């Protein structure tokens, strides 16, 4: 009989929710759900000096926004000193740990674990057998005092007491594992299954840090990356849906679809570089899958001052040009969107062949207000444009409307601007 699968994410609130932690959380979530188990969160706030409530709030809200729901209450290590104290006393009583008088620096007492000094081999679900010689570790410090447990001790006690069956965490913890197993054995706890996932790397293959740019999930959320896109991207970083005979070449997934396909076997052994190009592509893909209303609301986040009616007309055009909110803001700052709101002033040179404009006006005049749409506008000028050379007619028409060398096509522009505004703008250059 095997116990029900239970996984956890154990962030310490000493910084905003990191991309790497998010991916670890995702893999824990996917594994638990795939196996009908539970996924929970434990806040590791034993370092009172560095932990803050603000960071904790950032971590929790990021988790929620990403859709990584928890299957149990959130626990705080700071509230569990009683159990640590009890276990610590137990260890000391049995002689497995002892009070050690430190002579270096200020002299005071800490609690050390008596290290039997053996080789420890554990099975890692991703790396297979891993062996460490623990002799060189010495007697490790497990607490500053009976009421001040250190990381390794707290982790071991909590994982065991909370019934964690699978410890899925970053590879940076792989060398911590033997010392935790030592504590585990002293306490008589069973050993959970371990899976150490490779790290996320910066483009220069170094550890992803603030130096190379944003590392917090909340930063990416603020830049307009959709939670679903972020999840999708993180999943593909180190895990492959192509592996195995059930493999697929599909790349765009929802969280539910990821749960369906996930397996630890398909996780890569080596580190993966964070590739912004791919994230942008995925964000676009997820943006396209949003409903029209959701898309308009999305664009509104970057253009809060724009009238809703206009916004709903230009949303498809904007989403054609931008991958995220930042890019939309840039379009606005570069005045690329101005022609949607105010008539441009256009130089005669840019119009190239304005002599065709009178005819264009004549043709457009025949369309009634109620029939004013892209299809009809195009039909109205198309034959004339084809006859005169399309560029000769379409170019000045488009430039009169946008004032720009580059812009959406004239039919789209005219439809968005409406009949009156379109006629006014073109009439300005009536020769």
Partner RNA sequence: GGCCCUAUCGUCUAACGGUUAGGACGCCGGCUUUUCAAGCCGUUAAUCCGGGUUCGAUUCCCGGUAGGGUCACCA
What is the footprint of RNA within residues 41-60 (CB under 7 A)?
A: 44, 46-47, 50
Q: Which is nearer to RNA, 141 or 146 (CB)?
A: 141
Beta carbon of residue 26, minimum distance to RNA (angstroms, whole number): 13
What is the footprint of RNA within residues 285-324 (CB under 7 A)?
A: 320-321
What is the footprint of RNA within residues 201-230 (CB under 7 A)?
A: 201, 205-207
Q: Which is nearer to RNA, 221 or 287 (CB)?
A: 287
Q: Which is nearer to RNA, 37 or 199 (CB)?
A: 199
Q: Which is nearer to RNA, 227 or 408 (CB)?
A: 408
- Binding-site size for RNA (CB under 7 A) equals 77
Of the residues 83, 125, 141, 300, which one makes contact with RNA according to CB under 7 A: 141
Q: Site map for RNA, 323-342, x if CB under 7 A? A: --------------------
Catalytic option among 210, 308, 321, 352: 210
249 binds RNA (CB under 7 A): yes
Of the residues 133, 246, 383, 420, which one makes contact with RNA according to CB under 7 A: 133
Beta carbon of residue 235, minimum distance to RNA (angstroms, whole number): 9
What is the footprint of RNA within residues 382-421 (CB under 7 A)?
A: 382, 390-391, 394-395, 398, 405-411
Q: Which is nearer to RNA, 88 or 394 (CB)?
A: 394
Beta carbon of residue 246, minimum distance to RNA (angstroms, whole number): 10
Beta carbon of residue 1, minimum distance to RNA (angstroms, whole number): 30
Cα 430 from Cα 424, distance rounded (Å): 10
Give the pair of three-digit tokens for residue 394: 């379409």
Q: Which is nearer to RNA, 53 or 406 (CB)?
A: 406
85 binds RNA (CB under 7 A): no
Give the pair of three-digit tokens for residue 352: 């190239």
Give the pair of three-digit tokens for residue 405: 């060398």
Beta carbon of residue 250, minimum distance to RNA (angstroms, whole number): 9
Q: Which is nearer to RNA, 35 or 283 (CB)?
A: 283
Please say whether the beta carbons of 226 and 286 come within 8 A: yes
Of the residues 93, 105, 305, 333, which one makes contact with RNA according to CB under 7 A: 105
Beta carbon of residue 368, minimum distance to RNA (angstroms, whole number): 21
What is the footprint of RNA within residues 143-202 (CB under 7 A)?
A: 144, 150-152, 171-176, 198-199, 201
Cα 372 from Cα 384, distance rounded (Å): 18
Of the residues 271, 344, 358, 418, which one makes contact with RNA according to CB under 7 A: 271
Measured in whole angstroms, the distance separating CA 98 from the mean position of its chain's CA atoms is 45
Per CB under 7 A, the segment of 82-90, 212-220, 267-275, 295-303 that binds RNA is 267-275
Q: Which is nearer to RNA, 278 or 329 (CB)?
A: 278
Is 210 part of the annotated catalytic residue set? Answer: yes
Please say whether the beta carbons of 338 and 404 come within 8 A: no
Mind telling me the catalytic residues?
Answer: 210
């Amino acid at each position: 009989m095997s116990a029900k699968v239970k996984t956890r994410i154990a962030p310490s609130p000493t910084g905003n929710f990191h991309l790497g932690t998010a991916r670890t959380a995702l893999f824990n979530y996917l594994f638990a759900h795939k196996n009908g188990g539970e996924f929970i969160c434990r806040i590791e706030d034993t370092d009172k000096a560095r932990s803050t409530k603000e960071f904790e709030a950032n971590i929790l809200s990021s988790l929620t926004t990403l859709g990584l729901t928890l299957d149990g209450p959130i626990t705080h290590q700071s509230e569990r000193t009683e159990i640590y104290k009890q276990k610590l006393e137990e260890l000391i009583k049995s002689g497995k740990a002892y009070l050690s008088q430190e002579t270096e620096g200020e002299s005071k007492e800490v609690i050390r674990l008596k290290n039997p000094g053996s080789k420890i081999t554990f099975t890692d679900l991703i790396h297979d057998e891993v062996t460490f010689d623990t002799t060189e570790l010495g007697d490790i410090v497990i607490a500053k005092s009976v009421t001040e447990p250190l990381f390794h001790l707290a982790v071991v006690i909590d994982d065991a007491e909370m019934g964690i069956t699978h410890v899925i965490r970053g590879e940076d913890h792989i060398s911590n594992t033997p010392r935790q197993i030592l504590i585990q054995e002293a306490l008589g706890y069973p050993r959970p299954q371990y899976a150490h996932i490779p790290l996320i790397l910066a483009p220069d293959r170094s550890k992803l840090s603030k130096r190379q740019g944003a590392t917090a999930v909340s930063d990416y959320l603020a830049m307009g990356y959709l939670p679903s896109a972020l999840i999708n991207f993180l999943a593909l970083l180190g895990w492959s849906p192509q592996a195995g005979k059930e493999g697929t070449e599909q790349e765009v997934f929802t969280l539910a679809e990821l749960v369906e396909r996930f397996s630890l076997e398909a996780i890569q052994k080596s580190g993966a570089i964070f590739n912004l190009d791919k994230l942008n592509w995925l964000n676009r893909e997820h943006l396209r899958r949003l409903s029209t209303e959701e898309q308009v609301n999305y664009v509104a986040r970057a253009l809060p001052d724009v009238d809703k009616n206009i916004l709903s007309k230009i949303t498809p055009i904007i989403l054609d040009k931008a991958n995220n909110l930042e890019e939309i803001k840039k379009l606005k700052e570069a005045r690329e969107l101005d022609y949607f709101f105010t008539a441009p002033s256009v130089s005669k040179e840019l119009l190239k062949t304005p002599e065709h404009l009178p005819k264009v006006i004549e043709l457009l005049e025949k369309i009634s207000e109620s029939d004013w749409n892209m299809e009809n506008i195009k039909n109205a000028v198309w034959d004339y444009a084809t006859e005169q050379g399309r560029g000769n007619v379409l170019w000045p028409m488009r430039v009169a409307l946008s004032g720009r060398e580059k812009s959406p096509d004239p039919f789209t522009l005219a439809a968005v601007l409406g009949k009156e505004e379109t006629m006014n703008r073109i009439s300005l250059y009536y020769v």
